[in-house]
Amino acid sequence: MSGPAPGLRCAVVLCTYNGARFLPQQLESLRAQTVQPAQYVLSDDASSDDTWAMLQAFASERMAAGCEVILHRNEDNLGYVRHFEQALQRADAEVLLPCDQDDVWHPGKIARMAEVFAARPGLLMLHADARLVDGEGKPSGRGLFEVLEVTADEMQAMHEGRAFDVLLRRNIVTGAVMALRRRLLEGAFPVGDGWAHDEWLAMLAAMQGEADTLDEAWVDYRQHGGNQIGVRERSAVQKHLGIGVGRREFLRRLVGRQESLLAHLQSQGVGDERLGEVRDRLAHARLRAGLDSKGWARLRDVMAEWRTGRYARYGSGWRSVMSDWLGLD
């Protein structure tokens, strides 16, 4: 398509850093979209390779095709979270689609997401599945939701308007396959300590309005070892026991994340009910991260927490109980 389609105003927000190896394929997938966005925000985070030259050429081409383009280059490297935070705020459109430099969008991605947002005025955030591919673009045969072990119950909860319950327990949203209304950015930044921009915005969307999931895959999500954020599968034993990679460190970080979320929500005047749920989540994280008793005393502490129901709401039920009791990592 030569230029932007009429209708809902969308912006693609592409952030790059030393992405010359894979960026041409991503840019080609943007050219191939069945519906072009009204605007591109092309932002580079002080790359030292040919990335900036590629963005400049793409910007000229898209402007010639009738799209608006905001082209920006940071003098100093901000890191991916602050970079996306900055770039998203530069966009001037109703629906924003964050874009990574090393993926490949399927041709109908923009059209599909714009269609859903147009039909649902209250929708603040939408995300989708992705097809995992290797560094050469070869499909692994796995989907993102499959590797993240997204359950049927979680999918149903997202569709039924209970995204907050899902995301308070754990994040299942990846920025490469998300879109959001720009009004979600109001009061959203800075991103809380320990959070990535995509999971932060997804959580805020779930608290403020509608957030939903598409079961369809709309991106080839490249896993090449140099991803800023990728996905790692757990071993069979880890899956069985509900143990993540570096569980103890994960729990300590989770406490910090929930503390920063709570502080942000308090500063924004969020209602008592939501604050209460975040406080409850924080209390559970603190208990699990702070377990230092041994033997039967440790079991006593774990079982006391079990009786609150929080292992079921925020963890993996009995599997989290067992890993905490045994002190497994």
DSSP string for residues in 47-104: -SSSHHHHHHHHHHHHHHTT-EEEEEE-SS---HHHHHHHHHHH--SSEEEEE-SS-E
What structural domains and CATH numbers belong to the chain? Answer: 10-222 (3.90.550.10), 236-326 (no CATH)
φ/ψ of 162, rounded to 5, equals: -110, 40
The residue type of 206 is A
Query: Model's pTM, two decimal places?
Result: 0.90
Which pLDDT score, from 0 to 100, does residue 7 have? 79
Which pLDDT score, from 0 to 100, does residue 329 have? 61
* CB-based contact 222:22 (threshold 8 Å): yes
Cis status, amide bond into 24, omega within 30 of 0: no
The residue type of 15 is C
| pLDDT tens, the chain, 329 aa long | 556 766 799 999 999 999 999 999 999 999 999 999 999 999 999 999 999 999 999 999 999 999 999 999 999 999 999 999 999 999 999 999 999 999 999 999 999 999 999 999 999 999 999 999 998 889 899 999 999 999 999 999 999 999 999 999 999 999 999 999 999 999 999 999 999 999 999 999 999 999 999 999 999 999 865 544 444 444 333 333 334 447 778 899 999 999 999 999 999 888 788 899 999 999 999 999 999 888 889 999 999 999 999 999 999 899 999 999 988 76
Which pLDDT score, from 0 to 100, does residue 177 have? 97
Instruction: With residue 27 as reference, give the H or E element that holds it.
Output: helix 23-31
- Torsion-angle region of residue 27: left (phi > 0), alpha (psi -120 to 50) or beta? alpha
Q: How many other C-beta atoms are found inside a 10 Å radius of the C-beta of residue 201?
A: 28
Distance, in Å, from the CA atom of 153 to the CA atom of 170, rounded to the nearest integer, reads 13
Which pLDDT score, from 0 to 100, does residue 231 have? 45
Which stretches of the chain are DSSP H helices?
23-31, 51-64, 80-90, 109-119, 144-147, 152-159, 163-169, 197-208, 236-241, 247-267, 272-289, 295-306, 310-314, 318-326
